[in-house]
Structure 1
Amino acid sequence: LRLFAVDGEENPKVASYYFKNYPILDAKFTPAGDQVLMTSSSSQIWGLDVSSGEPFEMRSPHRSAPRCLAMGPASTTEKSSQMYGFLGDAGAISLCDSKTKHTIRTFRMSSSGIALVFAPHQACLYSADEECNIYEWDLTSGRCRQKVKEQWTVRIQQLAVSAADKPKLAVGSATGNIDFFELGASLSRVPDHSIGNLTTRIDALRFNTDGQILAAASRLKPGALKLVHTGTMTVFQNWPTQRTPLHRVSALDFSSDGGMLAVGNEAGRVLLFRLRSYMQPK
């Protein structure tokens, strides 16, 4: 695990840590940014205290390896900002406290889970299972608010929720299609918009801070990354270009102020791109 200080210029490496016999498949900062949680092919979850550099170990309540590690939104008053969750056995979702690491609730879907994402605008969680069902979970009551079948996709791969005034749910599919749903009192069974510029499985899906941009990528084809302007539901045509050295994209995310896009690829490199027009004032 390597940590870098992103200043937009030198971006120096701050520290490097090695976890023996633990290939890291996913790593995320907790909502407060003071810890990093990691998952692997085992049922163990390792964490790192960023300030002290001390690692700590947790064990998943499930027999299988935890999947789709999701963090609550940062810089918000919502209760979910103190939570994280992951997928477990037989459609289970474990919801945990980011401070104590104790399991708060366990939700259960109809079949094995595929994707998981916290909503930044309210205390709820969205998940999807292998039968293309989308669930909305109330984090306060622990009840399932609604369950809708996504009839327009063969298999759901990724979910993302925007923090805009009119929040959207983006659903990435195994065929590369991205469906958009307006989040209101109830989820529509028909997408409000669809984007089909990618033609292979969606492996990464993220909204920027204010929800104006959605980044989507597939690792099955070199350079398979697209940016969608959500206001007009159009794909940016001027970037990336054929000369952009993306290679096969394995992960991506926006900085908290929206001014940076980090793109990781299978060559082991992380590329940083400035988005000056979308940087939020501090």
Structure 2
Amino acid sequence: MKRKNTSLDEEENRVSSLLFNKSKKFTENISSQENEIDVDIKPAWVDEDDHQLAADIITKVKSDGLYTQKLKQKYEVLVGTPKWAKITNQKDDSNKLTKTVGHLKKTKSRGLKKGILEIHNFPRINSKSRNEGRLITAVEFHPKLSVALVAGQSGVVSLFSIGGEDKNKLHSFQLNRWRVSAAQFDPDGTEAFITSKTSHDYYVYNLVKAEAKAVQLPQAIKRATSFRLSPNGKLLAASDTFSEIYIICAKSKELLKVLKTSTNIESLAFDHNSEKLYSYGISGEVTIWDLSTYRAINKFVDNGCVTASCMDISACGQLLATGSAEGIVNVYETQKLTTRDPLPLKVISNLTTKITNLKFNPTTEILCASSSFYPNAIKLVHIPSYHVFSNFPQRNVQQVETTSFSPNSGYMALGNNTGAAYLYRLKHYKNY
């Protein structure tokens, strides 16, 4: 037993070191450097007579100012102010370090242009493992570190470092007799919530301890076909395709509320500030729930929808995208969803098979729509022009099961039905 505990401790320390120690040390170094910056600019020598002699001692000059001020003005007119004499704001200088060091620098860029997407193909994320299963159903980027989680139908969950040509595998673990259907990181990036459409349990993987713990869903749920973690990490929403939605506290794992609809649930989505929940019924009915009162504040039927499939809400909270089995994607403005029959802002009909995945990028400039029923059935749509980028996909990606964007849209990933997790660099975005 001692030997087993020792190996677990060593594994925990190894994963914690790989994932967190570098970032912690980097942050501490930045803080210490900022504290050391203490610039107090004072004149090296002061002549008391400079504050007494008036400018009128100069021939043919009548002025109430000081003699030294007059000489300074004349010098700047003729020569200009030298660099060594320019005094910059002390506060601005002290903040310069945090604006220019490494990934802390936030580059201002213009809006993404339509037409051609500047994109670079990287090697597969899981090229060194390829044991996550034939169907890659989850590819998720860590919210703070350059790390990606890859999982699939074999039950193997792997973590890889992102950012170079060589994808370093950090850690992997096996969930026995378990098929992963989705995974989400909490906002802090310390835990990953892993679910399966064929199980009554879900797993919470602690990245610091390198430990996966099984948690049972409420007894009424046989299997969570829809499972979502709120953006603030406080709530879980689950449904088993029937008309009930179960709201669970993410921390205590206790059931908070059961929401009942008039139709079987096909998809769920939290809004950007975790104040509302959108449910998408199989017949196309969208219900908007107020999570402070657990009441429905509006219902409407998705325009032209016969059979619903999936939906997503933009990170800014202004757009809602719905996908149907007919291959149609409707995009709505959330502020205008106050009637029973709102009209979509845009109807996208570039795909002809069932929409199985919708994903906005974090800047709401790209909407990724894909179908796992046909090879290469994936489109990247530019927002707000809603033109499809003509140069994607550049290679055969087979049947796409899942898509994901990194926190600042610098990377995009997709998993397919051949066990591959593809990685792309979106050059327009400068940060991970």
Task: For 2:327, give the aligned amino acid.
Answer: G
Partner of 1:29: 185
C-alpha distance 110-32 of structure 1, shift in aligned 2 (>3 A): farther
Task: For 1:126, give the aligned amino acid.
Answer: Y
Q: Tell me how far apart the structure 1 counterparts of residues 167 and 293 of structure 2 sit (CA, whole Å).
A: 43
Paired residue total: 272
Partner of 1:113: 265
Contact 1:46 1:57 in 2 (8 A): yes
Partner of 2:114: none
Task: For 2:212, give the aligned amino acid.
Answer: P
Q: Tell me how far apart the structure 1 counterparts of residues 373 and 180 of structure 2 sit (CA, whole Å).
A: 20
Q: Tell me how far apart the structure 1 counterparts of residues 225 and 416 of structure 2 sit (CA, whole Å).
A: 20
Partner of 1:64: 222
Other structure's SS at 1:24 match: coil
Q: Alpha-carbon deviation of 1:48?
A: 1.2
Q: Alpha-carbon deviation of 1:127?
A: 1.0
- 1:44 aligns to 2:201 (yes or no): yes
Query: Which deviates more, 186-195 or 213-222?
Result: 186-195
Q: Alpha-carbon deviation of 1:191?
A: 1.5
- 1:144 aligns to 2:296 (yes or no): yes
Task: For 1:69, give the aligned amino acid.
Answer: F
Contact 2:226 2:241 in 1 (8 A): no
**1:231 aligned to 384, 404, 414, which one?**
384
Q: Tell me how far apart the structure 2 counterparts of residues 35 and 97 of structure 1 sit (CA, whole Å).
A: 15
Partner of 1:77: none
Contact 1:177 1:198 in 2 (8 A): yes
Q: Tell me how far apart the structure 2 counterparts of residues 231 and 278 of structure 1 sit (CA, whole Å).
A: 17
Moved over 3 A (4+): none
Partner of 1:274: 425
Partner of 2:354: 201
Partner of 2:235: 83
Contact 2:303 2:330 in 1 (8 A): no
Task: For 2:422, give the aligned amino acid.
Answer: L
Query: Which deviates more, 250-259 or 184-193?
Result: 184-193
Task: For 1:37, give the aligned amino acid.
Answer: F
**2:321 aligned to 158, 170, 187, which one?**
170
Deviations 1:229-248 (A, max 9, x none): 1211111112223xx13111
Q: Tell me how far apart the structure 2 counterparts of residues 21 and 276 of structure 1 sit (CA, whole Å).
A: 40
Other structure's SS at 1:278 match: coil
Q: Alpha-carbon deviation of 1:71?
A: 2.0
Q: Alpha-carbon deviation of 1:122?
A: 5.5
Contact 1:63 1:89 in 2 (8 A): no
Contact 1:48 1:55 in 2 (8 A): yes
Task: For 1:211, give the aligned amino acid.
Answer: T
RMSD after superposition? 1.8
C-alpha distance 278-175 of structure 1, shift in aligned 2 (>3 A): farther
Task: For 1:222, give the aligned amino acid.
Answer: P
Contact 2:226 2:240 in 1 (8 A): no
Q: Tell me how far apart the structure 2 counterparts of residues 163 and 234 of structure 1 sit (CA, whole Å).
A: 20
Q: Tell me how far apart the structure 1 counterparts of residues 222 and 285 of structure 2 sit (CA, whole Å).
A: 22
Contact 1:31 1:72 in 2 (8 A): no
**1:214 aligned to 367, 381, 399, which one?**
367
Q: Alpha-carbon deviation of 1:155?
A: 1.1
C-alpha distance 17-140 of structure 1, shift in aligned 2 (>3 A): same
Q: Alpha-carbon deviation of 1:101?
A: 2.2
Other structure's SS at 2:242 match: helix
Partner of 1:182: 333
TM-score for the superposition, normalised by structure 2:
0.60
Q: Percent identity?
A: 28
Larger Rg: 2
Task: For 1:252, give the aligned amino acid.
Answer: T
Partner of 2:176: 20
Q: Alpha-carbon deviation of 1:51?
A: 1.2
Q: Tell me how far apart the structure 1 counterparts of residues 161 and 191 of structure 2 sit (CA, whole Å).
A: 15
Partner of 2:211: 54
Task: For 2:331, give the aligned amino acid.
Answer: F
Q: Alpha-carbon deviation of 1:63?
A: 3.7
Deviations 1:43-69 (A, max 9, x none): 111221111111211111124201222
Q: As a proportion of its length, which structure holds more helix?
A: 2
Q: Alpha-carbon deviation of 1:121?
A: 4.4
TM-score for the superposition, normalised by structure 1:
0.90
Query: Which deviates more, 226-235 or 21-30?
Result: 21-30
Q: Tell me how far apart the structure 2 counterparts of residues 12 and 101 of structure 1 sit (CA, whole Å).
A: 33
Q: Which runs of 5+ in 1 are unaligned?
A: 74-79
